[in-house]
Amino acid sequence: MAKQSRNGKGRADLDAFRVQSTGTDLTTNQGVPIADNQNSLRAGERGPTLLEDFILREKITHFDHERIPERVVHARGAGAHGYFTVSESLEKFTRAKFLCDPSLRTPVFVRFSTVGGSRGSADTVRDVRGFATKFYTPEGNFDIVGNNMPVFFIQDAIKFPDFVHAVKPEPHHEMPQASSAHDSFWDFVSLTPESTHMVMWLMSDRAIPRSYATMEGFGVHTYRWINADGESTFVKYHWKPVRGMSSLVWDEAQKLAGKDADFNRRDLWESIEAGNFPEFELGVQLFDDAQADAFDFDVLDPTKLIPEELVPVQLVGKMVLDRNPDNFFAETEQVAFCVSHVVPGVDFSNDPLLQGRIFSYLDTQLSRLGGPNFHQIPINRPVCPFRNGQQDGFHQMEIRVGKTAYDPNSVDGGLPKEKPVEDGGFASYLEQLRGDKRRVRAGSFKDHFSQATLFWNSQTDVEKEHIASAFGFELAKVERVEIRERVLGRLANVDADLTARVAAQIGLAAPKASKVDGPLRRRNGKPAQRIESSPALSIIANAGEGSAKGRKVAILVADGVDGPAVAAMKAALKKAGVTGLVLADHLGTVASTDGEPVAVDHTIVTMPSIAFDAVYVPGGVDSARALAASGDAVHYVAEAYKHVKPIAAAADGADLLRQAGIVRAGQTGSDAGNGVFVGTPAKIGAAFTRALAAHRVWTRTDQIAVPA
């Protein structure tokens, strides 16, 4: 059984490794008490330091070796502990115990990441996000090492080093950091048509999530589940955020990269500390060979998704992230996700990208974590016993008791011994294989554009605008005209309108589509199934009513503010799981209309509007007048307006909005569609909270003219 910690949050067995660094004497690593930690041992007061100073040498030597190599990709990330529960037994499809027992709370550790940037790069860059989950199951660790996009740039593992070298900073000057907006990325993708579909996702708002808690996750590849009878079902994994999806807008994302490079990491941390636990439902698309054979694409091709219209996503369980790590390095940095970590009942498909990954992740840990015993690091240890004849190596932490390290043996009574498949031992799916040994790309992988078009067709107008602008932005940073032209040539095979919009931004003529391989028309003698548009691929069309939980509202105040209104708004927001923070031009308190000083949480300049989802300007004539006279405050609301965020104000507070040019004189209530609410909290509160749940006011159209 997986062990839970006393408070129900995370793994109980990790408690044994937690070491309190306070409350004891300061010692060397050998336990020798240190009397002076301020001065090194010298020959004379102003003389040289002595080699004999073992205390200094131990300290500096350890410091010199504090770094381990960062991950080759996904170097920047943030992690959290939690648990997973399956809602109903899935034994019909898999014999994995953690998927068959609804009473089991399986501990998990999740690490979210960006891909291209170094460990110290900004969170909010345009990039794919990693979404890796380690399930500590009673039958061993199972890792779903996924992304927040359901497809990938390439079809074969042999292209991965090329792709990564192209997107990373260029080798001669190591620029740009954490950005695909440069020649080598666009050069590679324009010469690699299979990347077209994924590039569409990368240019969409999926690449700038508002929060890790508001993005979807995908296993990407087709995997297999195997039941107790040895029968296999294909499976694609999905994580659906309970709060719904929401993203940043591009101007906001770029500014955040400078003003709060830790934006997503901080949001995850604070959300968990506040008890607003991020939750995700596990969804699966289950299908068999016959279904797979009917699609107009190949399910082994990782540049293709299976539209939910063809195979619905069934929600089968829930993951809750309810505990922050104690130590970033020990847990988030040292956690080692491996695609090869599967448990009985879970197996791979022959996707050629997946096949390479099964090798790569174990291999990379050897240089990243320094040896073959990384599974003994607390965060990586399975919660079930693990025993075999592997021995020694760097960082062996266990004192193995026993006289043998081989199998079969008689000396140790034949232990540890194999477990038959019927009793739970791992077995690969019995798949019949026959084929010629050759380097080849399957003919069924040849259609590189249909699903890129499907993605485009599935977007709302607002999202299409964002995608076209993202292409325009990135290509405007590409120096070589021939690369820009080649990209337009690829887009021409996706959609003529998109091509025209991008071409206009970069001053080139829009080319015509060229003749390319289309989707598979017939599979096994029957017409293949295809879908022209899938609302599930759009963030906005998929949003439903959304959830305000986890959002943040800036409350702008100055001396003379209506204190009771501030308190009432804070309380109402808290009820909806929203954090309201009071901002003024100085810390401390501001005077209130009722004589009770109002505590200030942050200054306006340290917490810009881009760090919030909405703004509230309470009443109080003096406060409103002071804010309207402050350039910082005027800019604050104008910028929030530009970023299509809901804005609420009391009648007096609306002075500030008028000063910023975002409401007209005398305007009250909810302005039809533009997301500005003026009135008492009682009058506008409900509409404001609904707008917060919807996140952005996409119906606002005049924000382009706002000079912020």
Question: What residues make contact with ligand HDE under the rule CB under 6 A?
Answer: 71-74, 77, 111, 113, 130, 132, 145-147, 152, 157, 160, 220, 337, 353, 356-357, 360-361, 364
Q: Which long-range contacts (CB under 8 A, 24 or more apart) does 352-356 make?
A: 352/155, 352/156, 352/157, 352/300, 353/152, 353/154, 353/155, 353/156, 353/157, 353/160, 353/221, 353/302, 354/221, 354/222, 354/223, 354/302, 355/157, 356/156, 356/157, 356/158, 356/160
> Minimum distance between the CB of residue 150 and ligand HDE, rounded to whole angstroms?
9
Burial of residue 416, with CB atoms counted within 10 A of its CB: 0-12 exposed, 13-18 middle, 19 or more buried? middle
Which of 37, 39, 81, 147 is an active site residue?
A: 147
> Minimum distance between the CB of residue 338 and ligand HDE, rounded to whole angstroms?
7
Token pair of 461 as six digits:
């107008």
Amino acid at position 399, single letter: I
> Minimum distance between the CB of residue 337 and ligand HDE, rounded to whole angstroms?
4
The whole-angstrom separation of Cα 10 and Cα 331 is 12
Of 325 and 646, the one with the shorter C-beta distance to ligand HDE is: 325
The whole-angstrom separation of Cα 370 and Cα 49 is 33
Q: What is the dihedral of CA 293, 296, 300, 306, to 10 degrees?
A: -100
The whole-angstrom separation of Cα 472 and Cα 508 is 11
> Minimum distance between the CB of residue 568 and ligand HDE, rounded to whole angstroms?
42
Centroid of chain to Cα 59: 36
Contact (Cβ atoms closer than 8 angstroms) between residue 343 and residue 96: yes
> Minimum distance between the CB of residue 359 and ligand HDE, rounded to whole angstroms?
8
3-state secondary structure of 129: strand
Of 9 and 76, the one with the shorter C-beta distance to ligand HDE is: 76
Return all residues near 678 (Cβ < 8 A) that are at least 6 apart.
Answer: 648, 649, 650, 651, 653, 654, 657, 663, 667, 668, 669, 671, 684
The whole-angstrom separation of Cα 566 and Cα 594 is 12
Full DSSP string of 180-230: --SHHHHHHHHT-GGGHHHHHHHTSGGGSBS-GGGS-EE--S-EEEE-TTS
Full DSSP string of 277-296: --EEEEEEEEE-HHHHTTBS
Of 336 and 502, the one with the shorter C-beta distance to ligand HDE is: 336
The whole-angstrom separation of Cα 29 and Cα 395 is 16
Question: 3-state SS of the chain: helix, strand, coil percent to 5?
Answer: 30, 15, 50
> Minimum distance between the CB of residue 199 and ligand HDE, rounded to whole angstroms?
14
Render the burial of 295-318: b for 16+ CB within 10 Å, e for the rest: bbbbbbbbbbbbbbebbebeebbb
Token pair of 157 as six digits:
């593992």
3-state secondary structure of 27: strand
Centroid of chain to Cα 669: 37
| Catalytic residue status for 147 | yes
Token pair of 191 as six digits:
């010469």
> Minimum distance between the CB of residue 235 and ligand HDE, rounded to whole angstroms?
14
Contact (Cβ atoms closer than 8 angstroms) between residue 152 and residue 301: no
Of 9 and 74, the one with the shorter C-beta distance to ligand HDE is: 74
3-state secondary structure of 373: coil
> Minimum distance between the CB of residue 357 and ligand HDE, rounded to whole angstroms?
5
| Catalytic residue status for 542 | no
> Minimum distance between the CB of residue 453 and ligand HDE, rounded to whole angstroms?
22
Of 76 and 466, the one with the shorter C-beta distance to ligand HDE is: 76
Helix H or strand E encompassing 74: none
Of 373 and 547, the one with the shorter C-beta distance to ligand HDE is: 373
Of 109 and 688, the one with the shorter C-beta distance to ligand HDE is: 109
The whole-angstrom separation of Cα 580 and Cα 589 is 16
The whole-angstrom separation of Cα 515 and Cα 251 is 37
- On the question of a cis peptide bond just before residue 176, with omega within 30 degrees of 0, the verdict is yes
Task: State the DSSP code for 236.
Answer: E
Which of 74, 182, 448, 466 is an active site residue?
A: 74
Of 72 and 687, the one with the shorter C-beta distance to ligand HDE is: 72
**Nearest-CB residue for ligand HDE:** 130
Return all residues near 427 (Cβ < 8 A) that are at least 6 apart.
Answer: 226, 230, 344, 421
> Minimum distance between the CB of residue 495 and ligand HDE, rounded to whole angstroms?
25
Of 353 and 657, the one with the shorter C-beta distance to ligand HDE is: 353
Which of 368, 167, 169, 127 has the alpha carbon at shortest distance from 264? 127
> Minimum distance between the CB of residue 594 and ligand HDE, rounded to whole angstroms?
50
The whole-angstrom separation of Cα 182 and Cα 579 is 38
> Minimum distance between the CB of residue 56 and ligand HDE, rounded to whole angstroms?
35
> Minimum distance between the CB of residue 361 and ligand HDE, rounded to whole angstroms?
5
Of 71 and 446, the one with the shorter C-beta distance to ligand HDE is: 71
Of 146 and 209, the one with the shorter C-beta distance to ligand HDE is: 146
Lay out the sheet containing 552-556: strands in order across. 602-603, 579-584, 552-556, 614-617, 647-649, 676-678, 669-670
In the block, residue with structure tokens 């990379």: 364
Of 130 and 378, the one with the shorter C-beta distance to ligand HDE is: 130
Of 321 and 628, the one with the shorter C-beta distance to ligand HDE is: 321
**Active site residues per annotation:** 74, 147
